[in-house]
Amino acid sequence: MSRPRNRAIALGFAGVGAGAAVVAAYRGARKYRALGELDMSELALAEDLETIDVVVDDGATIHGVEAGSGRPIVLLHGVTLSVATWPYQLAALSKEYRVIALDARGHGLSKSDSAGWGIDRMASDVAQVLTQLDLKDAIIIGHSMGGMMTQQMCLDFPDLARERVAGTILLSTAAAPGQGVPGFKMFNRVARPGTTALVNRRAASGNAWMPPAEIGYAMARLALGTSPDPRHVTHTRNMTTAFSPQTMSALMPHVIGFEVRHRLKDYPVPALVVVGSRDLLTPPRVGRALARRIPGADFEVVPGAGHMLMMERGEWLNERVDAFARAH
């Protein structure tokens, strides 16, 4: 069988699989919405959190919240999310650690300025926060895009990482987002320009970039694994739909185009890579490939979990973070 035909068949199966996942998520959304109003209080951040605002070199302000005291744990969220991603970690880990959650530039309450976008720019923001807050012996947990920021920061500022970072947990992330995903190159070449144009048109008209009601809920549902808590799906959707469509349009090419695989042999600090077995965005093969490229990295797959491990398996992750911190 010819290579083009093989590729076409692979893309066909990938399309069927993706379509089936969307249909299943849509049906699940209708079922969950039928439950009525949900009690979201467990996912609300504590009112007594301290706030952080760090002005970086281009004039942007990086916002964050913190709780607890002692050794620092720094939390970096994924694209379209915010510090609200981490309610379980801020509540539990702050009993023994100084837990700091940051809004990436353009997300939450953080602002962008003259330097614009790029994972390298966001990595520099993190490095400057570590320096300005004089954090040492820190554990950095980077989720999805936050994991890319963590990789980039450690690779771009290896001396700073060795001085201030004791270890990194790379959560549901990749060294190259298209790695191992059928049809990625075709999407990147053909679909992304049209998607960007659509986002820009919706932004200009004042419409949110994500569809409302069941469709938006279904899209958020795809980020979670087997039998998710409907509150977690709702919380994910709420964060995502609050995200600026203009920022989405500007940022996504940088996220999709992220590529540091060839540099990971020089990763300067210990790393643990964690992924859910049902993660559709960064599946286990992507996490495994990342871990193999980082010298000495450990790799774990969490059964049944999807992309939002910090919520789906909050208690498990907190215990794993504590064990990792004690070992490093």
pLDDT at 204: 58
φ/ψ bin of 209: left (φ > 0), alpha (ψ from -120 to 50), beta (otherwise): alpha
Closest Cα to residue 106, out of 77, 138, 148, 128? 77
Amino acid occupying residue 150: T
Q: Would you say 249 and 200 are in contact if contact means Cβ atoms under 8 Å apart?
A: yes
Residues 6+ apart with CB under 8 A from 234: 32, 38, 40, 217, 220
CB hemisphere CA count around 312 (13 angstroms): 25
pLDDT at 255: 87
Closest Cα to residue 122, out of 105, 109, 135? 105
Question: What stretches of the chain adopt beta strand conformation (E)?
Answer: 50-55, 61-67, 72-76, 98-102, 138-143, 165-171, 271-276, 298-302
For residue 139, the cross-strand partners are 73, 167
pLDDT at 13: 34
Average pLDDT per consecutive 10 residues, the chain (328 residues; last block may be shorter): 41 40 54 65 86 94 96 96 96 97 92 77 98 98 98 99 99 84 48 54 53 61 84 87 78 88 98 96 94 98 95 97 98
pLDDT at 184: 46
DSSP state of 216: H
What three-state secondary structure class fits 90?
helix
- Across 237-258, b (16+ Cβ under 10 Å) vs e yields bebbbebbbebbbbbbebbbeb
pLDDT at 1: 47
pLDDT at 63: 97
**How far is residue 94's CA from residue 99's CA, in Å, rounded to a whole number?**
6
**How far is residue 321's CA from residue 309's CA, in Å, rounded to a whole number?**
12
DSSP state of 246: H
Domains of the chain: 1-328 (3.40.50.1820)
Strand order of the sheet with strand 298-302? 50-55, 61-67, 98-102, 72-76, 138-143, 165-171, 271-276, 298-302
Q: Would you say 241 and 216 are in contact if contact means Cβ atoms under 8 Å apart?
A: yes
Task: Provide the whole-model pTM.
Answer: 0.84
Residues 6+ apart with CB under 8 A from 253: 192, 196
Distances (CA, A) of 286 to 55, 86, 276, 313: 34, 23, 11, 20
**How far is residue 202's CA from residue 249's CA, in Å, rounded to a whole number?**
11
Amino acid occupying residue 22: V
